[in-house]
Amino acid sequence: MYFCSYWHFCGIFPADSSLSLDLLHILFVAIANMVLSFFHRYMLTAGLVAFAAWPFITPLWTRAKSISLSWIFFCLLLAVFPLMPVVGRQPDIF
């Protein structure tokens, strides 16, 4: 209980328990995605595609469409780079 009250006190998670549980699930998936990206680079692409969907789930899409469209475009553009081959890496033969 101390853990939850500390995070609520700092304002990181809202006081609503269902919303804070959703945020904890999102945080867990994000951390798992980062760990998987150490071994599988294409997981960075999955994370960036998820970031591209962010304006659709916030009120930003209705307030600033040009900024939202540029956010989506640049996230998807950046998502291409982890799919490219690694340059200068020697293959491990052992």
pLDDT of the residue at 33: 85
Query: Tens place of pLDDT for every residue, the chain, 94 residues?
Result: 444 554 454 555 555 566 667 778 888 888 888 898 888 888 889 889 988 998 888 888 888 889 999 999 999 999 999 998 878 777 666 6
pLDDT of the residue at 41: 87
**SS3 assignment, position 92:** coil
**CB proximity list for 11: less than 8 A, separation 6 or greater:** none
Is the pTM of the predicted complex or chain greater than 0.85?
Answer: no
